[in-house]
Amino acid sequence: MPAIASSAPDIMIGQIAAQTQHIRVGSGGVMLPNHAPLTVAERFKVLEALYPGRIDLGLGRAPGTDQITSYALRRRQGISEEDDFLDRFQELVLLETRAFPAGHPFQNVRAMPADVPLPPIWLLGSSDYSARLAAQIGAGFSFAAHFSDLDPAIPMRLYRQSFKPSARMQTPQAILAMAVICADTDQDADRLAPAADLHFVRRAQGEYLPLASPEGTAAHPYTPLHRARIAHHPHRAGAGRRIDDCGHGARPRGAQPLLRAAGGDVRIAPRHLSGRASIASRDWLGSARFFIVALQEVSVGQHITLTAKDGHTFGAYRADPAGAPKGAIVVIQEIFGVNSHIRNVTDRFAQDGYVAIAPALFDRQEKNFQSGYTPDEIANARKFIAKPDWDAMLRDTQAAIDAVKAAGPVAVIGYCMGAIVKFADEKPKGPVMLHFGAKDQGIPLTDVEAIRGKRPAVEIYIYDDAGHGFNCDERGSYDKGSAEIALTRTRDFLAKHMKK
């Protein structure tokens, strides 16, 4: 396809992995109907050997191209007119497990290097069928929301609900791929965005052309059908923030409802750009005319199950550092559950060198509750604190502490309701730091001064420009400057008091 940077994902993966140290790099993807399973196995085993623990194998069910090109790719393999993905996938797995039955011609075939495992497998798809299949075989699932007409919430939830653990993956792991436009300003992004709409129209007609320039897009002879198709495409590209901000924490404008509904563990933002790739920082990528802007949010953790002292089992999100931990941090949620923001916070502390865990404190009332920040969602989330059982929350918090205390000293960090849970007994057993927004209408400064008078040893900081929830970059009340200062103070506080 002219609008895709690499027709050889395994080669591109090796280039990216060689220039980086920590991020995972995966294929999006290898169209298995076009490749011999043994070839795929050996190429990705070599990548896993070179960059252990950092590679993912994303497999596509469809050929991913037109019939003639597919024939050219497969003509030496013995072409079947039927969908043979499952046969090829089974062959790939049996090559890895060496479990071909006695007498099978491949019984003694070994995918080399034999002492290196295949990377984690992800199934890519744009339908609920792909979600069901990924759940059934216990693989990761990546949903292509950037070109599918299906509401992403449907396959993502179906996948999670139907997931069967496998030797390859014990818990469901989902990726949501979205279309975004990155540019220096919102105005530039809005100028580029119509090219994505034209690309969508052309794809629907079987035309896989390079992305048009803004001038070419404006001059295109759109028919009424074209304009109707664009208007009704449910996941049009969301123009976003400055490209400098498109790393961890960036949120494309208009994308939040989709993110909250689908709730991926990892989010990838693929989008083609017209003209020379000016945002590329490596020479090998700088000459690319079209490429993928990837990894809007990187999840480094996993969902686990904890058991409280009273026998209650509940979920938690845990993220571990790359090296030896400095200690552990228990992240206590807001009233919105262990949502994408809390997972991001947990991941960030893991990247700082701590074992971090966020217990799902509302699982006693509703399993796996997550919420966004619209007025209706806020009103719905408030039901959980109408009659709070603080003792139960403290039991669950203690279970989280017990789960990570082997890493060293443990700190508890709470946000909004989480701060209340942490401070519920009003008898701090260790050093405490509190952050307040001066414009927070829910916590008047008179209350802050009352705490200061009662607990003079507590470090208290007030941020003049901040309101309620100023640390959450998914809310309109987010104040970047105050949040960054608070985070720096928190990191210094942890470094000072969490010494082994």
Q: Within its chain, how far is the Cα of 228 from the centroid?
A: 32
Burial class (CB in 10 A: 0-12, 13-18, 19+), 203: middle
Name the nearest CA neighbour of 118 among 31, 27, 34, 33.
27
Close Cβ partners of 192 (under 8 Å, ≥ 6 residues apart): 181, 183, 214, 239, 273, 274
- 354, amino acid identity: Y
Radius of gyration (C-alpha) of the chain in whole angstroms: 25
- Between CA 421 and CA 415 the distance in angstroms is 9
pLDDT tens track for 366-417: 998 988 787 788 888 888 888 888 899 999 999 999 999 999 999 999 988 7
Please report the pLDDT score of residue 149 as a whole number: 66
Judge whether 5 and 34 are in contact, CB under 8 Å.
Answer: no
Please report the pLDDT score of residue 281 as a whole number: 28
- Between CA 471 and CA 65 the distance in angstroms is 44
pLDDT tens track for 333-357: 999 999 878 988 898 898 889 999 9
Judge whether 180 and 271 are in contact, CB under 8 Å.
Answer: yes
Judge whether 427 and 345 are in contact, CB under 8 Å.
Answer: no
Please report the pLDDT score of residue 271 as a whole number: 44
Low-confidence ranges of the chain (pLDDT < 50): 234-235, 237-254, 264, 266-299, 421-422, 424-425
Judge whether 303 and 315 are in contact, CB under 8 Å.
Answer: yes
Reading the block at residue 438, the tokens are 């001066």
Ordered domains of the chain (ranges, CATH): 180-286 (no CATH), 301-497 (3.40.50.1820)
- Between CA 402 and CA 331 the distance in angstroms is 14
Please report the pLDDT score of residue 419 as a whole number: 53
Close Cβ partners of 12 (under 8 Å, ≥ 6 residues apart): 5, 6
Bin 78: left if φ > 0, else alpha if -120 < ψ < 50, else beta: left
What sections of 205-246 are H helices per DSSP? 214-219, 224-232
Strands 266-268 and 301-307: unpaired
First to last CA, the chain: 54
What are the distances in angstroms from CA 270 to CA 140, 144, 146, 180, 418?
Answer: 18, 10, 8, 7, 35
